Structures are given as structure tokens and as C-alpha cells.
Structure 1
Amino acid sequence: MKINVIFYSLYGHNHKMAEAVAEGAREVKGVDVGLYQVEETFTPEILEKMGATEYKKKFGHIPVATIETLTEADAIIFGTPTRFGMMVAQMRAFLDRTGGIWSKGELIGKVGSVFTSSSTQHGGQESTILSFHTTLLHHGMIVVGVPYSEERQKILTEITGGSPYGSSTITGRGHGSRQPSENELGIARFQGRHVAEITKRLVGE
């Protein structure tokens, strides 16, 4: 059984979340997990001006996702920062190239799930995941979130991301000064494991 985690990250937060999601998925026996990033559309000059160059180098070794990264998998877990309440342009550009496999129905019946990040506590995390689901549903995918059996999304003792729609992290302002908390990473690991368990039931392994 194959699960691919596909993310976009600028300052490393979604990379850390993606690693945690992949870690959780690997806890399920018989699951092969791949980790990919979508192609960068910013030029090196723009990345330098944004102060992102050094961050990007830390996960530059991770391969870039292709259309085959989608079709080969039984489940796909996507990670994207939020930009004004929606997915980033880099992820949108990747998904906009999937018209060919949409017309052939090649993602129908595959499991899809989403995680995200924002710089502020109410910065569009839920709207980003919910609007992302629209694309998954157009492809005929089975959408899986994070049920409330994951108790970490219920805590009130600290500020944290995480919702029934998917795991998330709050990055803070200024190049994302806040790193994912252990609570947020725990929800991400749960999401990966939960998706793997659901997918295993569906494919009958």
C-alpha cells in the first residue's frame, strides 16, 4: 500500500509537519510512504529577498512531486500554507496540471487528506483545508480528516493548531518565528496514521 505526502513549504514549517504526518503513516504495518514537495515558482532572487533561501536548503533534497506521484498512490496527504484563506499558488499550479488524470478518473477512490499552517491563530487554516477539499472531490477522492478521537485538538491549555479538517500549525510573524509545537506534531502524526488505517481498510490489505 502506497501513501504519498506532498507539501509546499517556504520557511520549513510545513516540511516539519509533513515529516510528522509521514512518521505517523509509517506506524501502520505494510505501508510504503513517500515524501515530496511541489515545484517552487519563486525565482532564487525573490526567495532571497523573502529571507527563505536558507530555510529552503534544509529540505532541498526532497524530490519534486509529479503527476505520477499522485497516480501511483493509494492515498495522498497534501500540506500547504494558507495564503489569504486558500492554498498557496505553488500547490494550486501543481493541481492545475492534473486535468489529464481528472478526465481519465485516475484518482477516483483514492484517499485524500490535507494539513496546513498560518502565521496567526485565526489566519484561514480551516478555510484553506475546506477549499482544498473541493479539488479532491472533483477528482472523486475520499476525503479523510482528523476525528475527535484525537484528543490533542481539544486542549485549552495552550494555543495550538488542529481541527476535524486536518492538522495545522501556527507559524508566527516574521519568517515564521514559531515552530510547530509537540501538540501540533502529535496531531500531524495522528493524521498520517489515521489516513493509513482508513486506506488499508479500503484496499483490503
Structure 2
Amino acid sequence: MILRYTLVADGSSDQLLMHVIDWLIAFHRPDLAVTGSFARDLGRVGSRLSDRLPAALTLYPCDMLFVHRDTEGVAIAERVREIDEAARPLHSHWVPVVPARMTEAWLLSDEIAIRAVAENKYGHVRLDLPPKREWETVINPKQVLFDALVLASGKTRRAQARFSLPKARAMVAAWTTDFSPLRGLASFDALETSLLNVLMDF
């Protein structure tokens, strides 16, 4: 069986969440062949989920729908409720994806991947990454990740100007081979639990 999924996300940079989704599905159902689509170029639709989800499903039909929202100061449970209300009338298999604060909070677990993407895999400079207990509460995880990439690179200020941090951010997700260190984070555990419930139908 080939499982087709579509990810509808807050922004284009959140496409990197597909690496997390692929890892989770492969971990729990290695028997499934998976192909994922990122919903982009939806046309002239509003910003509300009730506008975007129908357009996404028309352009990217799927067996499983993943819907991403950052918390942005709103409780995870509230975001999940918003997603469920928008997705329930449209699809029978949907999974809320709600990282605490923003997606980059899920990219702080693999220091080796960060150093490798920064092209200094064997560097030893301290990256000052926050401990796991703070990944979901750090004020700006995107800036924390960007600062770590710059530190890890060891590049001069001139070389840093040619170092694309947005591109590097996506590469950190791609080079992270194991997302299990995220277990224990409320937001990641909620994603995994929701996915397991939906996978029971496949």
C-alpha cells in the first residue's frame, strides 16, 4: 500500500515538518510506502483553515491530512481544537501538527546535524543550545537555531553574509536522522499520539 499524505502549514518554511512526519510514519509503520505533498500555491483563498483546507484537498488529494499551526501564545489544546473543527467535515483522517511556539523548537535536539549543516561537523565551539526542558518554552527558537548555526560554522562575518540561514534551517531537519529525543515534549507527544490513532485505519 502507498500512503499519500498532504501537509497544510502556516508558512512555506514549515515544509521541513515533512521530515518529522516521514520519520514518525516509518518508525511506526515501516511496512507502508509513503509519499507526501506540501500544499502550496492554493490560489486566491483566505488565511483561515476553513478556506485553505478545501483548496489543499482539491489540489493535493490524500489518504491522510496533516494540518500545522504554531501555538503563537495559544494553548496547544486550543490549536488542536481549531484544526479538528476545520478538518472534520472535510476528511476522515487528519492529524494536528502543533509545535510549541514555532517549528524550530523541534530542530534543537540534534547538535551533530546543526554542526554538519554549518559545514563544521567536528567543531568544538559551544553552541549554547538550551536543555530539553526549555525547548518548548524558549522565547524565539528560530533565533536560537540561527545563532547555533552561526556559532557552529566558525565563519568570519564576511562569510556569514553568504550563509543562508533559512536554507540551513531546512537542512537541519533533513539531516536529523532520529527525532526520538523530542519524545517527552508535550507538543511532539500529542503529534505522535494523534498519528498512531489515525494509522490504526491503515
* TM-score normalized with structure 1 length: 0.42
Q: Pick the structure with greater CA Rg.
A: 2
- Higher relative contact order (CA closer than 8 Å, sequence separation 6+): 1
**Higher fraction of helix:** 2
